[in-house]
Structure 1
Amino acid sequence: MKTLALVKKPNLRRLLTANFFSGIGDWFNSVAVLSLLLEVTGTAMAVGITLALRTLPHLIFGPLGGILADRFNRKTVMIVCDLARAVIALSFLLISSASDVWIVYAATFLLVMFSSLYNPSRLSILPQIVSREELAAANALDQTIYGTVMAVGSLIGGVFVAMWGNEVAFVFNSFSFLFSGWVLMRLTVPNQTEQEEKAAPVADQEAGKGAISYRELLHMIMRTPIVLAILLMTAMWPIGGGFFNVLISVYAYQVFDAGKWGIGLLYGAIGAGFIVGGLIAEFFHKRPYEVAALSFAIEGLAFLLTSFSPTLYVTALFYALSTVAGGMGNACLRTLLMKHVHARNLGRVFALDETFSNVLLGLSMLAGGWILAFAEPRIVGFAAGAFVTITSLILGRAIWVEGQTFKKKTTRCEATGVVESSHVD
């Protein structure tokens, strides 16, 4: 298996280790913050404001994170963000009463701000530390780590806070960022400029000199149908996905009367699905266009089927199936972006993707909470699942068609020895 061989690569292992520990710390922090807010305020209003503040920074600072990733050393950007988050995470220790709730808002905003600056570098550094042929397996492994963090974090986060308290969770979160930064310092990354020029097709190397604006980048994306279709796919999913996030607690509490245990079961199923999806994505690495074209439609169909679930266990099974497909789809879409977007623009493309996805997800959750106040949960689940399925089929077909065109062009180029550009450059 390629995955086992990749795990033996020190650089990739360090990157994934850093992602794992900082992700676990985030989950512990989330549980502790939400518990603390209910303890000191006694209302859900503070929780709603805090959740909203986890979306806003992506809109403001996500594009800046893309610029930093493309203009500066990505490893350095990640380490600086980790150190800043380690300090900010400790500020939650200063909260003791309702009058201190502003600290929660400010610290939450700052943590997400530095995460917005961090993520484009994290995503775009991957092609620098693995070969082009290893990208699919590396992205699949990254999805597996993401699922593991979700499953482990959701299952033990509450237990950790219950046993040792909010303060220990905040300290652990700070330590997780320090540990992540230390691991990243040990990364050995090729010189960014030399690596980009070496990876670029001959026709692209001259065009690659100098930075471009987001406006120019958007024009380039519009002229590259495969990249446009991928970004539209990742932007459409959150519109329905936000409803499914809200439905987790609604299904657990209102539909199946399972309470906190039910929420834990559904989150655990989601995490397990991402783990399985990441593991089996490797076996489909030779068909990334086909998997990308179908996976999100399957995910939407699984979501739709939750509206007919007779028990919470069946609902958990459908949620797991949805994220198996979603994990495979995410791995394939990221791999395709890394192959079709020039390395010098990768940070900004991922920043656009993350920014729109997070903002749309936040707005969708807000709308979902409002609609579920008066609508039947199963009807909302059916409608959201149908939306994801239909839009994914339409955009998936566009990705598949462009993929077949690209494959034919590549075969023709290999036969004639002529290099043709197929990037957003």
Structure 2
Amino acid sequence: MYALISKALGFQYVLHLKGFLLNKNIFLLWQGQLISQLGMQAYTIAMMFWLMENTGSSFLMSLILTLSILPSVIFGPIAGVIADQFSRKNILIVTDLIRGMSVLLLSVMIFGEYESQFIIVMLFATVSIVNGISKAFFQPAVDAFIPDLVTSNKLSKTVAFFQSTTQCTTIIGQALGGILYRALGAPILLLLDAISYFISAFSESFIKYDAKEHKKISGIANKYKQHKADLMDGLSYVNSCKGMLQTMIFASSINFFIAPVMLLLPFYVTGQLLEEAHWYGYLLAVMALGSILGYWLSATINVRGNRRTMVMFLSMLLFSCSLMLFSQTISPKIALISLFISGLSLGIFNLQATTLFQKNTPTEFRGRVMSLLMTISSGLLPLGLLIGGGLGAVTNNNTQLIFSVCSIGIAVLTITTSLNSSLRSYLFNHEEIAPRKA
């Protein structure tokens, strides 16, 4: 790993893929993210397996997962201000170090207090909250940082590369996580997760870029006033961009309808497809593969003018149709095909939505814009999970009905949103920020 970093520092370009070059700064950022994503999968699997084996409580598992999501809702707007006020590189390093230290402490405690179930459960809850808070500050910073490190014409392919490798690490992590848990146990798996965050922070520390000057403010009262003013400036900027907020809500609302599907997918496998549990992994993997292809197809599309509008709306209609087919079939093969198409359409849509906000927001506002997008998206996810769980309880986990309702909901949302003139105007008439110099 250190040899790779040293080599990266010695050359201007270190990786060639699909006709574009990743510069050394993007490579260092990507390399760190790749390793920490694998570690994140290790933490999730260690937590879920340990809680399942030692408590047997699905409610406790869902509660701790919710605790990891809520900080993005609570701290999202503040995190955006921080990402615009301070060095984004430093934010990434600090949050990675905090996550590494918290997971390391958890690993040590499990080694020493393994028999104390209550203490370990409380530690998992605490670490999940700490990781959630760290991610709340990390994600807007990295989303705002990427456009600062790459030229505008390469942004779409760079984001596609980041997103697709994230999907790959998810597949690998899910495939290997259970095996490593059985072979190594929770403490060692958590230790590997902690090490991954430290390596990520180390890799990010070598990134070199032209950082803007940040004004220094003394006094707690003055800092609070400045934070508040910056937050209001960010909200005013979003409000001044006609159609931006509506576009954010549309993009984030997809999570609301996806949440019940992902929550009840195990019941779909065993109750509707009448297959064994390993098919759950197959379906997740094929959806991730579809997303990877979708990211790269989306990156190659010329989306100027009305074409972006067509691509985004048609991809959501395709997602709705494939989800409807998925909801009604009892054939495992058709389920695989339909979920692959669902992942493909989501990949196309997500890349267009992400780069839309990254490209067309000035760097001094980008952290706040991306954090607002994260806040809306994160806020709708728990709501979708709760409603999905409630519908499952009422209908005896009737996935055919619930998934079809989600499909219809996405179609109705897409059609009604397409009639919004402000949103169409934002998609069609957006003005790209002048590209940075290479």
Counterpart selection for 1:339 from 353, 359, 365 = 359
CA positional deviation for 1:397: 5.5
1:16 aligns with 2:30: yes
Report how many aligned residue pairs link the two structures.
396
Superposition map of 1:10-409 within 5 A: 10-93=24-107, 94-95=109-110, 96=114, 97-100=116-119, 101-192=121-212, 212-286=229-303, 287-375=307-395, 376-396=398-418, 398=420, 399-406=423-430
Deviations 1:231-258 (A, max 9, x none): 0222211110111111222212322233
Is the contact between residue 146 and residue 275 of structure 1 (CA under 8 Å) also seen in structure 2? no
Is the contact between residue 21 and residue 176 of structure 1 (CA under 8 Å) also seen in structure 2? yes
CA positional deviation for 1:216: 3.8
CA positional deviation for 1:393: 3.2
Is the contact between residue 272 and residue 330 of structure 2 (CA under 8 Å) also seen in structure 1? no
Distance 1:53 1:406, change over 3 A: closer
**Larger deviation, residues 2-11 vs 293-302:** 2-11
Q: Partners in 2 of 1:13 and 1:135 — Cα distance?
A: 14
**Larger deviation, residues 27-36 vs 12-21:** 12-21
Is the contact between residue 90 and residue 174 of structure 1 (CA under 8 Å) also seen in structure 2? yes
Moved beyond 4 Å, runs of 4+: 209-212, 396-401
CA positional deviation for 1:317: 2.1
Is the contact between residue 151 and residue 270 of structure 1 (CA under 8 Å) also seen in structure 2? no
* 5+ residue gaps, structure 1: 195-208, 411-419
Deviations 1:115-160 (A, max 9, x none): 1110001100011100111112112222212221222122222122
CA positional deviation for 1:52: 1.4
User: Structure 1-normalised TM-score?
Assistant: 0.87
Question: Structure 1 vs Structure 2: percent identity of aligned residues?
Answer: 20
CA positional deviation for 1:290: 3.2
Is the contact between residue 280 and residue 328 of structure 1 (CA under 8 Å) also seen in structure 2? yes
The SS at the match of 1:147 is helix
Is the contact between residue 147 and residue 273 of structure 1 (CA under 8 Å) also seen in structure 2? no
Is the contact between residue 308 and residue 428 of structure 2 (CA under 8 Å) also seen in structure 1? no
Is the contact between residue 143 and residue 277 of structure 1 (CA under 8 Å) also seen in structure 2? no
Deviations 1:310-353 (A, max 9, x none): 22332222222111111111111111112222211110111111
* 5+ residue gaps, structure 2: 1-14, 215-225
